[in-house]
Amino acid sequence: MAAIQLTERQKEIILIVKENGPITGENVAQHLNLSRAALRADLTILVMAGLIDAKPRVGYFYVGDNSRTIISEKVMEMKVKDCKSRPIVEREEASVYDTIVKMFISDVGTLFIVSQGGILQGVVSRKDLLKVTLGQGDLQSMPVNVIMTRMPNIITTTLDESIYEATKKIIEHQIDGLPVVRPCEAEGPNFGLPEVIGRFTKTNITRIFLELLEGD
Ligand code: ADP
């Protein structure tokens, strides 16, 4: 089943069907003080989602009580702020050499490159750094902002974005993670610019996956 976000009415329908099923569409409508026609779309969605089923001349009954549904409902409610990690950043003036050292020390695969005040300027991944080491440049003197993927091409997330949306971005853009940003609140030139406040990566997603399997 594809994960879907249920509306309040759809949740109510599920409860009614769960408690009263098998129940006709007409009777579900009566419970909600609505017409049968007004419910048709919701009932169709819930049947297609595999949460309820319908038998001719019997009515609707509940089938959604399986772990797959519970897991997808749980994930749909989770936000980036529930599971992000702290950001690992490097200043844009840092050398490529220092950036490589920082990556090793901090044990991450992606570093966010920031200007003064923690404002997001770019991202460097392992492969960006490997690529530059194959070239002729002097890693000690070359600043990392020469090789980084830079704004405005950085895909970001926010504290209130759903895990579902953030995960889709990671898959669609084929990247390992996203900087979590918020508009800088400090008065001055940085005001409103994206300040890095966390990271959301494949590791966070793997952890969520494990927790769900373990039933936490
Ligand atoms: P790796 O290079 O180790 O495979 P990624 O798949 O994350 O790691 O990175 C692939 C490319 O995408 C790199 O050039 C990297 O700079 C860039 N990149 C990584 N994260 C982002 C992001 N959030 N937004 C835009 N580009 C990114």
- Cα 99 to Cα 90: distance, rounded to the nearest angstrom: 7
Q: What is the CATH number of the domain that holds 53?
A: 1.10.10.10
- Cα 11 to Cα 161: distance, rounded to the nearest angstrom: 22
Examine residue 1 and state whether it is found in any structural domain, yes or no: no
Q: Which stretches in the chain have pLDDT values below 70?
A: 1-3, 65-70, 216
- Assess whether 69 and 113 both reside in one domain: no
- Assess whether 183 and 115 both reside in one domain: yes
Domain count across the chain: 2
At residue 63, the pLDDT reads: 86
Does the CB atom of residue 123 touch ligand 1 within 6 A?
yes
Examine residue 211 and state whether it is found in any structural domain, yes or no: no
Examine residue 124 and state whether it is found in any structural domain, yes or no: yes
Decide: pTM greater than 0.85: no
- Assess whether 194 and 88 both reside in one domain: yes
At residue 49, the pLDDT reads: 85
- In the reported structure, the alpha carbon of residue 176 is separated from the centroid of ligand 1 by a whole-number distance in angstroms of 6
Q: Quick one: residue 180, left, alpha or beta (phi over 0 = left, psi -120 to 50 = alpha)?
A: beta
Does the CB atom of residue 141 touch ligand 1 within 6 A?
no
One DSSP character per residue, 61-113 reads EE---SHHHHHHHHHHH-BGGGT-B---EEETTSBHHHHHHHHHHHT-SEEEE
Examine residue 130 and state whether it is found in any structural domain, yes or no: yes
At residue 1, the pLDDT reads: 46
Q: What is the CATH number of the domain that holds 149?
A: 3.10.580.10
At residue 3, the pLDDT reads: 58
Does the CB atom of residue 201 touch ligand 1 within 6 A?
no
Examine residue 212 and state whether it is found in any structural domain, yes or no: no
- Assess whether 90 and 137 both reside in one domain: yes
CB contact set of 78 (below 8 Å; sequence gap of 6+): 162, 163, 208
Pairing of the two strands 110-115 and 89-91: parallel
Encoded tokens for 114: 């920031």
- In the reported structure, the alpha carbon of residue 116 is separated from the centroid of ligand 1 by a whole-number distance in angstroms of 22
- Nearest ligand 1 atom to the CA of 176 is 7
Range of the domain at 144: 82-201
At residue 68, the pLDDT reads: 60
Q: What is the CA radius of gyration of the chain?
A: 24
- Assess whether 133 and 149 both reside in one domain: yes
Pick the last residue of a domain from 77, 99, 129. Answer: 77
- Assess whether 72 and 97 both reside in one domain: no
Pick the last residue of a domain from 77, 103, 127. Answer: 77
- Assess whether 190 and 137 both reside in one domain: yes
At residue 11, the pLDDT reads: 93
Pick the last residue of a domain from 38, 58, 77. Answer: 77
